[in-house]
Amino acid sequence: MALSRKIGFVGTGAITDAMVRGLLTEPAAVSYVMVSQRSADISAKLSADFPTVIVSGDNQAIVDQCDTVVLAIRPQIAEEVIRPLRFRDGQSVISVVAATSRSALLDWIGADVRLSQAIPLPFVGRRKGVTAVYPPDTDTAAIFDVLGKAVECETKTEYDLLAAASALMATYFGIMQTTAAWLAENGLPEEKGRAYLAPLFSGLAETALLAGKDVEFLEMSHEFATKGGLNEQVLHDFNEDGGSRSLVLALDRVFARIQG
């Protein structure tokens, strides 16, 4: 999908790097993007890898020359970077600034912009990301659909819930590491465990994607848990030993933290 809009990034960290790479991977979705010179290493590498990346040492120039501005700044310095900038009424602004309220962002921006908030994950660099967007916005969703898939949230609560769910990423890899360590302790070389587990989990994720939205995860769980079989045993032990309850409690706590 081609995007005609000029997109600029204020802030050049890991997420900016991933988004730019996703947008400019052939076939490129945009003709060019502008990025802040800071961080110098990332902006220089993007410019070297993509001739259509324009590096600017002036954030105001990015705001002036782009239809869509992505704010990708650390929350600790967001206000001091955003407040001096002069945005245009009606301009599209996408904030990927973590843990920052919409009301605070609008106050700092000081113009009647079309503000969206988004939670892009590193997979957008491979156009495999799923990105929560709030509030629904056709143009913002189009950008993240290029980078994988956009999930538009009707309410802030929906958006916060998906933010809580995204906090499971480290746990996912933690489960894989715990399993790989168990395999190694019982005699399987660790590299063989990793070589087996990564495609196993990838295949399960692909199965869930191909099943579509009308198939419940519980239904798939039953399909993989033969009556009296090994999968059923592990699922039973996991639940009986408090695994599911611990997961729900962790999600409750992180959701409360997100909502402040």
7-154 maps to CATH 3.40.50.720: yes
Bridge-based pairing of strands 53-56 and 7-10 is unpaired
Q: Kindly state the average pLDDT of the residues 12-37.
A: 95
- Could you give the residue range(s) of every CATH 3.40.50.720 domain in the chain? 7-154
pLDDT of the residue at 4 = 56
Bridge-based pairing of strands 7-10 and 33-36 is parallel
- The answer to whether the annotation marks 135 as part of a ligand binding site is no
pLDDT at 2 over 60: no
Q: Kindly state the average pLDDT of the residues 167-189.
A: 97
Fold for the domain defined by 169-258? ProC C-terminal domain-like fold (1.10.3730)
- The answer to whether the annotation marks 143 as part of a ligand binding site is no
Sign, CA dihedral 11-92-148-248, equals positive
Using pLDDT thresholds of 50, 70 and 90, give the confidence band for residue 212. Answer: confident
- Could you give the residue range(s) of every CATH 1.10.3730 domain in the chain? 169-258
pTM value is: 0.91
Mean pLDDT value across the chain: 95
- The answer to whether the annotation marks 75 as part of a ligand binding site is yes
Strand partners, 85: none
- The answer to whether the annotation marks 73 as part of a ligand binding site is yes
DSSP 112-147: --EEEEEE--GGGGGT-EEEEEES--HHHHHHHHHT
pLDDT at 99 over 90: no
Angle at 121 between CA 150 and CA 10, to 5 degrees: 95
Sign, CA dihedral 159-164-169-172, equals negative
Residue 225 in contact with residue 235, Cβ under 8 Å? yes
